[in-house]
Amino acid sequence: MNVLRTSSEDEMISEFLKAEYRSERFSEQIKKVMERLLLDDSIILFADLNNINENAARKRLLGEFRGYGLNRDLFENFPKEIQWSVCSFAGGDLNSIRYIDYSYWNELSQGTGSPLTAAQTILNGIEIYDQSNDGFVKAAEFIKGGGKFPRPILLTSDSEHFVIVEGHLRITAFALVPEKFNNIECFVGKCSGDDLGKWL
């Protein structure tokens, strides 16, 4: 893993929302929250990180949508003190990336939390909770064809071991074609080990 540049909470939030907005799983949910908050999709698709009001609106949106800053849902006990960077990863770094502690990902990875183990589960044709693996396979084919995904978002305390915050499907797709996980950019948040442990 190589640090390319520093980032910010505002940029992380913007990228998180952009990825979820384009996600088949979360798109309709986020659009309903945007309607309730009277927000136009331009605040996600054409984000101006220099606009204080926009940044505040996006933070509120992520809070209403996934619990960010409200200590609930995905962001329950999420670290408050985080240094954000954009980093480049190589194929071998997949060994150091783990899923969040969640039943589906635990089962898919056979209790290891490893996307590489999950990829083997998928290749073996095993479906978890009767959920189709087609999305992973399609995403892997997209990658093999040269397709580009939004940057996944990871947390770390030591810059050696990483936990996925956003981008579980994408990282799993890369695990199916690990040779394509070279010079792949991710947002990485660095926090204390204690704070990371409270979130996991």
Q: Crossing angle, helix 52-66 and helix 27-36, to 10 degrees?
A: 120
DSSP of 104-164, one letter per residue? HHHHHTTTS--HHHHHHHHHTT--STT--SHHHHHHHHHHHTT---PPPEEEESSSSSEEE
Q: How confident is the model at residue 25, as a pLDDT? A: 83
Give mean pLDDT in consecutive 10-residue pieces for the chain, a chain of 200 residues: 96 95 89 95 95 97 96 95 96 94 96 98 96 96 94 96 96 96 96 94
Query: What is the rounded distance in angstroms from the CA atom of residue 169 to the CA atom of residue 102?
Result: 14
pTM: 0.94
Q: How far is CA 54 from each of CA 38, 84, 184, rounded to the nearest angstrom?
A: 13, 19, 28
Q: How confident is the model at residue 23, as a pLDDT? A: 85
Q: How confident is the model at residue 107, as a pLDDT? A: 97
